[in-house]
Structure 1
Amino acid sequence: MSTQVPPIHSTAAAPMLELRGVHTHIGAYHILHGVDLTVPRGQLTMLLGRNGAGKTTTLRTIMGLWQASQGRVLLGGEDITRLPTPAIARQSVAYVPENMGIFADLSVKENLLLAARQARHAGQMDEERLQWIFGLFPAVQKFWNHPAGKLSGGQKQMVAVARAIVEPRDLLIIDEPSKGLAPAIIHKMIAAFEQLKAAGVTILLVEQNLAFAKRLGDSVAVMDNGRVVHAGRMADLAADTDLQQSLLGLAL
């Protein structure tokens, strides 16, 4: 006989995001095996782990792109487990996938305009916010009218993040933003995330660049074989080389 799970009501004290016992199957494959994850409000939470640990599947499950087969996903204490992806996005959540999801045939301006729901043309976009984004990512302004597909990998990543923040968001979920980027562009990306943190945005970040993680992370969760096997403060993990070797097989 199944037990009725009591409803959870949103409160100011609730974490921004919480996964409770989440399982995800993709076809015949059981990828997530009871993921428990807490993302505190106003912090940047790093999600680390070896390749194939289940990090990207976790993000896609949060966003409803893959459906959890068991467990609950809570946003501000409210259950979003069964919501479709557009409904989750409307809860002030932005997601930047590993492949960036850029519309290659559209200009940079048109890519951002698609994400600016309150604007029907570029003149209706929030000019003050655009100038702030241009300050974070000068390449976005420089290539404003260029086809996004013609940009370099680093420039596309900047456009992807800019598109995610063209409107204020409570939660950003970003999959490996520094992957394949030159060090100079990584530094710009770090500066952008530091500003977003300072503005009170909650961020969940999958990252393989451990220097990046150490610099930005407030809290950390480490995944292995479809489970969270460690959670705590990023600073504590960064200071414990034995724990790093045990969890990740390498040192920060």
Structure 2
Amino acid sequence: MSAPLLKLSGVHTHIGAYHILHGVDLAVPRGQLTLLLGRNGAGKTTTLRTIMGLWRASAGTITFGGQGIAAWETPRIAQQGIAYVPENMGIFADLTVKENLLLAARGARTAAQMDSARLEWIFRLFPAVEKFWNHPAGKLSGGQKQMVAVARAIVEPRELLIVDEPSKGLAPAIVNNMIDAFAQLKASGTTILLVEQNLHFAQRLGDQVAVMDNGVVVHAGPMAALAEDEALQQSLLGLSL
């Protein structure tokens, strides 16, 4: 098998006096969708923020495309082709949908300079982005904001897309739309790392899965194998798919 696009080995993270990650080992294969599951407080969001350099790893290594990035600042990490959608989506509420996407399109100063073919593709993935193109992003519903957040992350081609709980609080119809969009993103060759609590979402999309508990990865393997093993689901997650 080829080397993973992203790999964490023995990663520890301290936030102030708190020791949150206790030696995380995680491999994200190139071109696949990897799910990071676990109970609340297991360390999933801290893992994503540590990958992005928003919190600094106190020990261990993080490699992306074979390069060590654990000591890099967040802008340099993003410039390598990694996009991150945080749990709170990070939408600029007073800007229009168009202006939110333009901020992420580094090669364009105006909307007319944005890649029109890529925009058309994004509009097909998320019709609401086109519908509300000139509306203030803060006026949109939660599901529409999530679509804008993901669209902004992919307005330029990315090697790796990292998303924290994309289905949280969304209506079932919006969740299904999001599942379809991520399936198309994966089919386009984008490598994806998702934190997710919706197990239907996880089962539909996941190629690989890693389950966290108390700041470490306690299980890693194919998502299909976890989906078929109810005893393992109960043991790891306290519930079944």
TM-score normalized by the length of structure 1? 0.95
1:133 equivalent in structure 2: 122
- Aligned residues with identical type, % of pairs: 79
1:33 equivalent in structure 2: 22
Distance (Å, rounded) in 2 between the aligned partners of 1:150 and 1:61 = 31
Structure 2 residue matching 1:64: 3-state secondary structure: coil
Q: Give 1:20 deviation, angstroms.
A: 0.4
1:143-184 CA-partner distances (Å, limit 9, x unpaired): 000000000000000000000000000000000000000011
RMSD (CA atoms): 0.8
Structure 2 residue matching 1:19: 3-state secondary structure: strand
Counting only pairs closer than 5 Å after superposition, residues 229-244 of structure 1 correspond to structure 2 as 229-244=218-233
The alignment status of 1:145 with 2:146, answered yes or no, reads no
2:106 equivalent in structure 1: 117
2:42 equivalent in structure 1: 53
1:15-50 CA-partner distances (Å, limit 9, x unpaired): 110000000000000000000000000000000000
The alignment status of 1:20 with 2:9, answered yes or no, reads yes
Aligned partner of 2:128: which letter? Answer: A
2:174 equivalent in structure 1: 185
Distance (Å, rounded) in 1 between the aligned partners of 2:186 and 2:65 = 18
Distance (Å, rounded) in 1 between the aligned partners of 2:108 and 2:62 = 30
Aligned partner of 1:96: which letter? Answer: V
The alignment status of 1:65 with 2:51, answered yes or no, reads no
Distance (Å, rounded) in 2 between the aligned partners of 1:13 and 1:230 = 21
Which structure 2 residue ranges, 5 or more long, are not aligned? none
Distance (Å, rounded) in 1 between the aligned partners of 2:164 and 2:137 = 19
TM-score normalized by the length of structure 2? 0.99
The alignment status of 1:89 with 2:78, answered yes or no, reads yes
Distance (Å, rounded) in 1 between the aligned partners of 2:3 and 2:206 = 20
Aligned partner of 2:3: which letter? Answer: A
Q: Give 1:98 deviation, angstroms.
A: 0.2
Which structure 1 residue ranges, 5 or more long, are not aligned? 1-11
Structure 1 residue matching 2:20: 3-state secondary structure: strand
Q: Give 1:13 deviation, angstroms.
A: 3.0
Distance (Å, rounded) in 2 between the aligned partners of 1:133 and 1:201 = 14
Structure 2 residue matching 1:155: 3-state secondary structure: helix
Total equivalences in the alignment: 241
Task: Give the 4+ runs in structure 1 shifted more than 3 A.
Answer: none
Q: Give 1:97 deviation, angstroms.
A: 0.2
1:210 equivalent in structure 2: 199
Structure 2 residue matching 1:46: 3-state secondary structure: strand
Q: Give 1:76 deviation, angstroms.
A: 1.0
Q: Give 1:77 deviation, angstroms.
A: 1.3
